[in-house]
C-alpha cells in the first residue's frame, strides 16, 4: 500500500495511539482530459473508503469514457468489492510487526482487528494487556502539580506569618520606648532598669543613712539608695526592669537600722484585786514581752516592748441586768435527805438554782449521788463548796487557815465527786466555806476555779428563824441579786416552807430565776476589769 506509511516500531494502526497521523488517501475523480473516473462519489456509509492508487488489486484499472451513469456506478461497485477483498487479507508485513504481528495473524489482519463494518483505517482504541494509552498516566502529572503548588502555598503562608510575628514583637517590644519618671516622659532603650535611669542622671535620689539601734547616725548615705513605686506598687531593687508605658515615682532613700542581735525577755503578770460585789471572778492576765536589741556595728543595746503585760485581776462586782428581773438562788451544804423535796418545789415553780455541794456527802458519808444527778438533769448548776467544809486545819469553816496543798485538795476532790455523780465535768465556780476567801488563797486556787461566789441577800435560814422570816428576806431581792440559802447542814423544813411562800409572789412580780453562770453572762467582765484598772491607774 504505497500511500499508507509502514507502522513504526511500538506504534499502532489506531490513529489515537499513533504519534503521526496517517496521510489521507488520494481520492480520484473523473478527468475530463483522460475520461477516467473515481468510485468515491458513488460510495456511501461507514465503509466508503477508496483503495489507494497503487494497490495491486486495482492497479491499471480504468473506466471507459462515455458510459452511462448506471454502468459507471456498477463498475465502481465492482472495483470497490475487488479492493475490499484485497485489503481483508493479512498485511504482508504484519507478521513481522513488533507489537501487533501476532494479533494480525490471529485475527486475520484488519478484518479481524476492526469491528465489522468499521472503517479499517479509523478504528476504536482497544487496550491490550500491558499496553498503556497516551493519557493513562496523566493523573501523576496532575498530582505532582497539586503537591508542588501546596508546598509553595505553605512556604508563602509561613513567610507571611513570620513577618506578622516580627512586626507584632517589635510593636510590643520596641528597641526604645517611653516611660514616665516623676511626671516626665523619658525614652529608654529596651532592657533598661531603674538603676540605668539613676546612673544616667534622669533622676538623682539621695540615699538614706545607716542608723544605730538607738537612732544615732553611723554612716551617711549608708541607708537605702532610693524609695519608689512602679505603677503604684512599691519597689526597692535597682535591677527592676522597665517596660513600655511604666510610670515611676522615685524619691530619696530611707534610713536603715544596723543589723542587730535580739533577746526576748518575758515578764509574768502581777495580781490585782479590783471592785466590790457578790460575784468574784478571775480575769486572767497576760505575760509581757520585751525584746533586747544589740547592734552588730555600734554594740549598743536597747529594749523594746513587744507585748504589754497585763496583771491577773480578781474582779468583784454585782450583776447589772439592765433592770431585767432576774435572781440567782443558791443552796449550800447539801445534799441531804430533804434535798429531793426542795427540788420538787423548785420544779413546781420553774426555778433554776445553783447547788454548792459538800463532796464527802455525795458518796463517802452518805450516798446522795442520785440526788445530785437529778438536780443536774433538771437544769440546776452543780458546784463545789469544798470536799469536807474545811475540816481539820480549816476548823470546819475557814480554808484560809489551810496550806496551799490542802486548799487545792479541798477543791479538786469536791469537783471529782460531782463529776462522778453526774457523769459530766464539774463547774469551775466555787464557794468557800463561811465565805472566807482572801489573800493568798485567791491566787493559789486561780488555776482550779474561774470564780468564787458570795451573796447579796442572806436569808439566814441556817439559824432557822421560821419560814415567814426566811420568806420575807427572800422577797426583798432586787434584779441581779445572789441569794444565800441552804439545803443541808441540818433540818431544812423551814427553808422549804419559805420557798413555797415566796416563790409564787416573786413569779407573779415577774422575776425569773437563773444559775450563776447565766447571771455572770449579763456583764462583759473583761471590759469591766479594764475600766476599773484604768481608773485605779489614773
Per the annotation, the verdict on 531 as an active-site residue is no
Q: What is the DSSP letter of 448?
A: T
How many Å apart are CA 476 and CA 509, to the nearest integer? 12
- With contact defined as beta carbons under 8 Å apart, do 518 and 369 qualify? no
How many Cβ atoms are within 10 Å of 325's Cβ, its own excluded?
Answer: 15
- Residue 113 phi/psi, 5° resolution? -85, -40
- Which residues, 6 or more positions from 51, have their beta carbon under 8 angstroms from its beta carbon? 25, 57, 58, 79, 80, 83, 86, 87
CA distances from 20 to 4, 6, 15, 137 (A): 12, 11, 8, 20
- Residue 257 phi/psi, 5° resolution? -90, 140
How many Å apart are CA 524 and CA 519, to the nearest integer? 11
**Residue 434 in grid coordinates:** 463561811
Q: Could you tell me which residues are beta bridge partners of residue 263?
A: 292
Q: Write down the residue that cell numbers 422570816 correspond to.
A: 469
Helices (H), 129-231: 138-172, 194-199
Asked whether the bond before 279 is cis by omega within 30 degrees of 0, the reply is no
**3-state DSSP of 49-91:** CCCCCCCCCCCCCCCCCCCCHHHHHHHHHHHHHHHHHHHCCCC
How many Å apart are CA 162 and CA 148, to the nearest integer? 21
CA dihedral 103, 108, 112, 118 (to 10 degrees): 120
Per the annotation, the verdict on 29 as an active-site residue is no
Find the catalytic residue in 332, 388, 487, 523.
Answer: 332
Across the chain, which distance is largest between two alpha carbons, in Å? 187
Which of these, 477, 415, 492, lies nearest to 450 by C-alpha position?
A: 415
Q: CA 361: distance to chain centroid?
A: 61
- Which residues, 6 or more positions from 491, have their beta carbon under 8 angstroms from its beta carbon? 338, 464
Find the catalytic residue in 461, 486, 487, 523.
Answer: 486
- With contact defined as beta carbons under 8 Å apart, do 523 and 318 qualify? no
Residues with catalytic function: 332, 486
Amino acid at each position: 500500500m504505497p500511500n499508507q506509511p509502514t507502522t513504526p516500531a511500538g506504534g499502532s494502526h489506531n490513529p489515537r495511539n499513533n504519534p503521526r497521523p496517517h496521510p489521507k488517501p488520494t481520492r480520484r475523480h473523473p478527468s475530463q482530459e483522460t475520461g477516467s473516473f473515481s468510485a468515491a462519489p458513488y460510495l456511501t456509509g461507514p465503509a466508503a473508503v477508496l483503495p489507494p492508487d497503487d494497490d495491486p488489486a486495482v492497479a491499471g484499472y480504468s473506466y471507459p469514457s462515455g458510459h452511462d451513469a448506471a454502468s459507471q456506478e456498477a463498475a465502481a461497485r465492482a472495483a470497490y468489492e475487488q479492493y475490499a477483498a484485497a485489503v481483508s487479507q493479512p498485511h504482508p508485513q504484519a507478521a513481522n510487526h513488533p507489537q501487533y504481528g501476532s494479533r494480525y495473524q490471529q485475527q486475520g489482519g484488519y478484518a479481524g482487528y476492526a469491528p465489522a463494518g468499521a472503517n479499517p483505517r479509523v478504528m476504536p482504541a482497544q487496550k491490550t494487556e500491558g499496553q498503556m494509552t497516551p493519557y493513562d498516566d496523566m493523573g501523576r502529572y496532575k498530582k505532582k502539580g497539586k503537591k508542588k503548588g501546596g508546598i509553595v502555598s505553605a512556604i508563602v503562608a509561613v513567610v507571611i506569618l513570620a513577618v506578622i510575628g516580627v512586626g507584632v514583637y517589635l510593636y510590643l517590644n520596641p528597641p526604645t520606648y517611653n516611660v514616665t519618671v516623676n511626671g516626665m516622659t523619658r525614652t529608654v532603650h529596651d532592657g533598661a532598669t531603674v538603676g540605668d535611669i539613676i546612673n544616667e542622671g534622669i533622676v538623682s535620689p539621695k540615699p538614706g543613712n545607716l542608723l544605730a539601734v538607738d537612732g544615732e547616725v553611723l554612716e551617711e548615705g549608708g541607708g537605702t539608695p532610693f524609695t519608689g513605686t512602679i505603677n503604684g506598687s512599691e519597689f526597692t531593687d535597682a535591677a527592676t526592669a522597665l517596660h513600655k508605658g511604666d510610670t515611676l515615682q522615685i524619691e530619696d532613700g530611707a534610713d536603715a537600722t544596723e543589723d542587730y542581735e535580739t533577746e526576748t525577755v518575758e515578764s509574768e503578770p502581777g495580781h490585782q484585786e479590783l471592785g466590790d460585789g457578790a460575784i468574784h471572778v478571775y480575769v486572767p492576765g497576760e505575760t509581757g514581752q520585751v525584746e533586747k536589741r544589740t547592734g552588730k556595728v555600734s554594740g549598743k543595746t536597747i529594749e523594746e516592748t513587744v507585748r504589754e503585760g497585763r496583771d491577773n485581776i480578781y474582779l468583784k462586782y454585782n450583776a447589772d441586768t439592765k433592770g431585767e428581773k432576774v435572781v440567782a438562788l443558791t443552796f449550800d451544804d447539801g445534799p441531804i435527805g430533804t434535798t429531793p423535796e426542795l427540788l420538787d418545789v423548785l420544779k413546781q415553780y420553774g426555778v433554776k438554782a445553783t447547788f454548792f455541794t459538800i463532796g464527802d456527802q455525795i458518796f463517802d458519808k452518805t450516798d446522795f449521788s442520785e440526788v445530785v444527778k437529778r438536780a443536774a438533769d433538771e437544769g440546776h448548776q452543780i458546784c463545789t463548796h469544798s470536799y469536807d467544809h474545811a475540816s481539820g486545819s480549816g476548823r470546819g469553816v475557814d480554808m484560809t487557815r489551810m496550806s496551799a496543798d490542802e486548799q487545792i485538795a479541798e477543791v479538786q476532790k469536791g469537783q471529782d465527786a460531782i463529776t462522778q455523780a453526774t457523769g459530766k465535768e464539774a463547774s469551775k465556780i466555787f464557794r468557800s466555806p463561811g465565805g472566807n476567801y482572801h489573800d493568798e488563797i485567791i491566787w493559789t486556787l486561780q488555776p482550779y476555779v474561774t470564780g468564787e461566789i458570795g451573796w447579796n441577800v442572806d436569808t439566814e435560814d441556817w439559824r432557822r428563824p421560821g419560814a415567814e422570816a426566811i420568806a420575807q428576806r427572800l422577797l426583798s431581792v432586787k434584779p441581779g441579786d445572789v441569794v444565800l440559802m441552804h439545803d443541808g447542814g441540818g433540818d431544812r423544813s423551814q427553808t422549804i416552807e419559805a420557798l413555797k411562800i415566796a416563790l409564787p409572789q416573786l413569779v407573779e412580780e415577774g422575776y425569773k430565776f437563773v444559775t450563776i453562770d447565766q447571771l455572770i453572762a449579763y456583764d462583759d467582765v473583761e471590759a469591766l476589769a479594764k475600766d476599773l484598772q484604768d481608773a485605779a491607774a489614773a
